[in-house]
Structure 1
Amino acid sequence: MNSVAALPMYGVSPALAAGWRALLADVLRRVEPAAEIVEPHDLHAFWRRPDLLLAQTCGYPYVLGLHEYVQLIATPHFDAPGCEGAHYSSLIVTRSDAPFDSIEACRGARAAFNATDSNSGYNAFRHTVAPYARNGRFFGSTLETGSHLGSLHAVAADRADVAAIDCVTMAFARDAYPELTSRLREIGSTRSSPGLPLIASKHVSREQADALRAALDETLHVQPERAQRLKLKGFSYLTAAAYDSIRQMENEARIANYARLA
């Protein structure tokens, strides 16, 4: 059985999705040419496949149990405001004409989030709001949109007032959808945490894992223009313990009696 791979997490536009697919194809040619690039419909099931050669996940699912099935391969460094090395943060955005100038001012407002298993759109957002919540509530209502791009559209279209957006996604959105992002403005940011890691099944050998890391580094140097379009500057090789800070943000929100975004 051939191995499978996919890098869909930052395919914010069709051009970006094609760029990530091309980068992945170059990596696979160097490591396992027979591996199949797929388009997963159920990411949680895909990440747990024993034949997974390379994928990208969010740090929150990783600490919530995915770490039992996968190994960390690398964490990208992105050239985007809000990134520092392998760490990133979320940008808290509202409409350009909205009256909010800080997260504290958003009490009673309508919040949008991409998914409850997202670190950038939910966990970090909840952690930022937690100190201001009263009796487990802060917002007037919440809306699950399914994606960061969906949250941006919800805020811009006045279906929500505020959202926390992965700063890498926001940088890509500014490039790809300037008319959308021009209708929004930032009013804050979340605590920084390790970025979205590249992962492989625990069944992947140490030799293959090392080959994947070498191939990732090589693809940046042989295609510098593509790396620039993907805002890729390099990679770090973090330990599982580095991602404990994401669990810590969840725990701090729960201690503040703010277990869910509300």
Structure 2
Amino acid sequence: MNWIAALPMYNVTPELAAHWRALLAHVGARLEPWLAARGDSLALIEPDEQLERFWLRDDLLLSQTCGYPLVHALSERVRVIATPAFDIDGCAHGNYRSVLVTGAHVDATTLAQCQGLRAAFNDDDSNSGMNLFRAAVAPLALGKPFFSAVLRTGGHLQSLRALAIDRSADVAAIDCVTLAFVRDRLPELADGIREIGVTQSAPGLPFIASKAVPAEVPALLADALDDAVRADPALARRLKLTGFVRRPASDYASILDIERGAIEQGYPVLA
């Protein structure tokens, strides 16, 4: 089998993308005896197809997805390998949350004060940008539209640009890991926003493999990820990684609970 691997979720800058690729290279080196014994190969690639299709490829040895597609489109169709733990506020034990931010041009200091403003979100299948955001708004919306407009941007960086640069939106929920990298590396975005709160916590973005991988592979991959963090502490620091947590796919059912809670409050769609 000619296996592939890619980590597309936290490539905030080209430099960070190279660091994530280096992590994959560590994993590939650790798995080389297993690959060689089977006559297999591993290619580190950049996905050139829609991510849901990419995550469902039979030749996918390792990638990272969001928890929302994991419990919807990918449910029981991929293997959960491990969840990264980051040295970032709100990321203990492999969890994470979103940070509620406004553009610097906005006077609101709480989410409640954002009623009637323009919201931005990255995509419909995002836990951090949509699901957690929706859950935070639901008790304030009272079953009615809360914002004057809602803009789907296609990515967290685009949402931040809409707030900080274009001023085409006023408020968004940004994955706390993405935001930590932005604060370090993209001051033009970080300086144009203000934090007004945080959402509830959820399981972090899991590393996954194809359901078609042999039974021994998930443990091999999890061990290789642990080894990569130990073997290159400098790389781990650049990626803000403290390690990996092995948690079952069932942990991610809490994301469905978050979704269900908003729907039961009469707020099924971010609006």
Contact 2:143/2:265 (<8 A) preserved: no
Q: Distance in 2 between matches of 1:225 and 1:76?
A: 16
In the alignment, residue 4 of structure 2 is paired with which amino acid? V
Q: Distance in 2 between matches of 1:210 and 1:82?
A: 27
How many equivalent residue pairs?
262
Q: Distance in 1 between matches of 2:104 and 2:92?
A: 26
User: Which residue in the other structure is 2:38 paired with?
Assistant: none
User: Which residue in the other structure is 2:53 paired with?
Assistant: 45
Q: Which moved more, 1:199-208 or 1:163-172?
A: 199-208
In the alignment, residue 109 of structure 1 is paired with which amino acid? L
| 1:36 has 2:43 as partner | yes
User: Which residue in the other structure is 1:235 paired with?
Assistant: 244
Contact 2:16/2:239 (<8 A) preserved: yes
| 1:54 has 2:31 as partner | no
Unaligned runs of 5+ in 2: 36-40
Q: Aligned match of 2:169 in 156, 160, 171?
A: 160
**Structure 1 residue 130 displacement after superposition:** 0.4
User: Which residue in the other structure is 1:21 paired with?
Assistant: 21
**Structure 1 residue 206 displacement after superposition:** 2.7
**Structure 1 residue 70 displacement after superposition:** 0.5
Look up the SS of the partner of 1:85 in the other structure.
helix
Q: Which moved more, 1:197-206 or 1:250-259?
A: 197-206
Contact 1:5/1:53 (<8 A) preserved: yes
User: Which residue in the other structure is 2:133 paired with?
Assistant: 125
Q: Distance in 2 between matches of 1:243 and 1:135?
A: 26
Contact 1:48/1:69 (<8 A) preserved: yes
**Structure 1 residue 248 displacement after superposition:** 0.5
What whole-Å deviation, never above 9, does each CA across 1:127-179 have from its counterpart, x for those lacking one?
A: 00000114431011011111101000101131100000000000000111123
User: Which residue in the other structure is 1:148 paired with?
Assistant: 156
User: Which residue in the other structure is 2:116 paired with?
Assistant: 108
| 1:192 has 2:201 as partner | yes
When normalised by structure 2's length, the TM-score is 0.94
| 1:202 has 2:219 as partner | no
Unaligned runs of 5+ in 1: none
Q: Distance in 1 between matches of 2:54 and 2:140?
A: 37
Q: Distance in 2 between matches of 1:168 and 1:144?
A: 20
Contact 2:52/2:73 (<8 A) preserved: no
Contact 1:31/1:208 (<8 A) preserved: no
Summarize the alignment of residues 204-223 of structure 1 with structure 2, pairs less than 5 Å apart: 204-223=213-232
Contact 1:82/1:91 (<8 A) preserved: no
Contact 1:136/1:259 (<8 A) preserved: no
When normalised by structure 1's length, the TM-score is 0.97
In the alignment, residue 20 of structure 1 is paired with which amino acid? W
User: Which residue in the other structure is 1:252 paired with?
Assistant: 261
In the alignment, residue 249 of structure 1 is paired with which amino acid? I
Q: Percent identity?
A: 53
Q: Distance in 2 between matches of 1:67 and 1:235?
A: 21
Ranges of 4+ aligned residues in structure 1 off by more than 2 Å:
none
Q: Which moved more, 1:28-37 or 1:237-246?
A: 28-37
Q: Distance in 1 between matches of 2:7 and 2:230?
A: 19
Q: Which moved more, 1:20-29 or 1:10-19?
A: 20-29
What whole-Å deviation, never above 9, does each CA across 1:67-119 have from its counterpart, x for those lacking one?
A: 22111100000111221221000000012241111010010100000001000
